[in-house]
Amino acid sequence: MLPRNLTDVRSRSTVADHLFDETPSKRASKNRNGSAAESDEDRSSELSDDLLRRILSLLPAHEAVRTCVLSRRWREVWKSVRVLRFTAAETWGSAARFNRFVNDVLSFRDPAPLEEFEVKTYMCFPPTSSYSLILPDREEPVRYAKEWVQYALMRDVQVLRVFVNSRNRPLLRVDTALVSQHLRTLVLHSAVLGGSSMDFSSCPTLDDLELTSCLIMVREIGSQSLRRLSVNNCDFSGDICTQILTPNLLSLRLDVDGGWVPFLQSMPLLVTAYVKLVPFCTDHCRGRNNFLQCGFDTCVKCYGNHHQCVILGGLSNATNLELAAQFLFHSWHLGAAIFKREMRMCAAFRNLKTLVLDGWVVVCEIDALICFLQHTPVLEKITLRLYNELRYEVEMEESCSSLEKFVPSEHLKVVEVKCTKVVKNVHKFVGILISYGIASDLISIQETDKGLQLNLRCERMNLLLVDELLLANQKSRMNNLSDQKSGLSETLI
C-alpha cells in the first residue's frame, strides 16, 4: 500500500505547479505575465504524444516533470511516461524533501504501465558516523523504498533498479519474495536480503539479477528463468550456506566479500563465469589453524562431504572461466585454499576454452593447477596473473617435489604469464610449467605495468631452468633416500 501522501487528492489544475515548485532548480525563465510563453514556433508540440513520452523517458524524473511549464500541450505528457528515474537526491537538501517529491510524482502519475523504474535514495549514514548524530531520523532515506518497489511491480515494470546510497552498511531490508509476471531485470544496491527475498519462482520472466554491496542471508537464490547473475562485493551469512539454484544461467559473476561461500548447483548452459574469494571467509573448521579440513565428514564447516565441490562443481560446463583471490600480503589465504582443494577433485571441464587465474589462485600450489589442467581437454588459452609482492617461493618449492609431466590439451595455443615486473621468481614459475610438459614456445611473459611482451622462445634459457629444477629435485630425493638409509642402519644396530 502506498503512503498516505501518495493518495492525497489535489486539484488537477495545481498539480503541475506543485511538483515543479518542489524541484531543485526553479524555472529558468517566464514571460512578463508569470506564465510560460506559448510560441507559434514551438514545433515540438506538433509531435505525437508517443514520441513526446519517448523523449521524456530519456530524462531524469525531476527534469521530465519540469517540462509541464513549456505549454498547455506539455502539461499532462509527463504523467504517462513509462520510464521513471529518480536520481540526484542530494540536490533536494534532505531525505524528507526527496521522498515527498517521489511520492507526489507516483501519486499524480496516470496508472500507465512502466517499462523502467530507478531510484537512488538520499545518502544514508551509519549510526557510528558523526552525521548520524545530527540527523533526526537516519532511516528516512529508505522509509518508502518498499512502497516504491511495490508501486513499480503493480505497474508491470520490466526493469527495476533500487540503489540505497549508503556508507559502510546496507539499511534497506527485504524479506518477502517479489511477485511479477513482467519483471525482466532487477538491480539491488546496499540491501539486507533475508527470508524468501531471493526466491524468484513468482517472477517467471526474470533474466538478469544484479546484487551489489548487499548482505545475503538466505538459504537459496533460486530462479528457473535467470540468464545472468552478478553478485558484486556482497557478504554472505556466516551461519547459512546459501545455495544458488539457477539451472538456465548463461553468465555468472560471483564476488564474495565475506561470510560462507555459496554452494553452486549445476549450471548446464553456463558460458562465462567469474569467481572471486576473499582471504577471510568462514568456510573453515575452527578447530584447525591451517584453514583446511579437519578430516571429519560430520563437520558442517567442511561441508560434510570432502568429495563434493562447492564452487567448481557447478561451473564445470563453462566455456570461459576466471578465478581470482583478493590480494593479500600474508602467507596464507583461505579463498586460495578453497580453490586449491577443489582443483584437485573437480570434474572434467569439457567445454572450457579460456582460463584466467589471478593472484593467489595461481600460486596456491602448482600441483593443484596441473591437476586441474588435466581435466580440460579443449582448453585453448591460459592467462596467469602473478603479483611480485606475493611470497610464493615455498609453494613452488613444494610443488617441485612431485614433478610429473602431463599431456596438455592439443588445442592449447598460448599461455600468458602477466606480472607487474619480470623477476627471478617469474622465470622460476615459467620453468616449472615447462618441466610439467607445457611447450616453451606457447608461453609468453607480459609486464602489465609497461605493456612489454617478452616471449620466452630462447630454448637455452628454458633448458637451463628445467635442468636446474630437475637437479634440485634429484638432490632432494637423494637426501631423502640417504636419511632413510641412515635411519635403517641405526635401527639394525
| pLDDT in the model for residue 153 | 97
Task: Looking at mean pLDDT, say which of 42-56, 155-169, 293-307, 470-484 comes out highest.
Answer: 155-169
| pLDDT in the model for residue 449 | 61
> 358 in a domain, yes or no?
no
225 pLDDT higher than 70: yes
Residue bearing cell 542530494: 90
Between residues 395 and 233, the one the model is more confident about: 233
> 57 in a domain, yes or no?
yes
133 pLDDT higher than 50: no
| pLDDT in the model for residue 63 | 92
| pLDDT in the model for residue 18 | 52
| pLDDT in the model for residue 38 | 46
Q: Which of 70-79, 126-135, 454-463 comes out lowest in average pLDDT?
A: 454-463
CA distance 217 to 205: 24
Closest CA to 206 of 241, 182, 170: 182
Find the mean pLDDT for residues 337-345.
82
pLDDT digits (tens, 9 = 90+) for 1-11: 455 444 443 43
> 117 in a domain, yes or no?
yes
> 95 in a domain, yes or no?
yes
Portion of the chain with pLDDT greater than 90, in percent: 40
Show the domain range for 64.
48-121
pLDDT digits (tens, 9 = 90+) for 411-432: 999 999 888 777 777 888 888 8
> 271 in a domain, yes or no?
no
- Look up the pTM and report it: 0.78
Task: Looking at mean pLDDT, say which of 218-222, 364-368, 371-375 comes out highest.
Answer: 218-222
> 59 in a domain, yes or no?
yes
> 74 in a domain, yes or no?
yes
Provide the pLDDT confidence category of residue 371 given band limits of 50, 70 and 90: confident
> 456 in a domain, yes or no?
no
If one counts the domains in the chain, the total is 1
